Amino acid sequence: AVAAVAAAEEEEEEDMPISLADFKKQKEAKAKLREDEEKKAKDHALGERQKARAKTDVVRCDDEEDLKGMIKGYKKTADGKTTSYFTREVDPETKAMLDQLKQPKRIDPVEAA
């Protein structure tokens, strides 16, 4: 690209008498060449900035145990099923406590005073 500009300048020096139309064409060609070089430089700089900003953090897990803490919104039940976090199944401890509360209670008669 730089060589093309230098060649255009040499041609300009060799051919001193030049028509106005040719002069305008050469000037436009030089301006276009300069704009193209500037655009390429800007595109390259933009590409470098985007590469620098790009997130390349990739987490790789070999164990299923490592994934348990990372998966959000799901959990494993006692029988091994994966359910949503807001499942209505009751764990065994809570179920035992609720069963105790559900048992019938003896009602003692109140003596009349």
Kindly list the averaged pLDDT for each block of 10 residues, start to end, along the chain of length 113: 67 71 93 96 92 72 64 75 78 91 87 73
Provide the pLDDT for residue 68: 61
Torsion angle (degrees, nearest 10) of CA 82, 87, 89, 90:
110
CB atoms within 10 A of CB 5: 14
Using one digit for the tens of pLDDT, what is the confidence trace for 52-76?
887 666 666 666 666 665 566 777 7
Nearest Cα neighbor of 4 from 39, 36, 41 is 36
Provide the pLDDT for residue 95: 92
Tell me the sheet residues that pair with 75: 83
Domain ranges of the chain: 2-53, 64-102
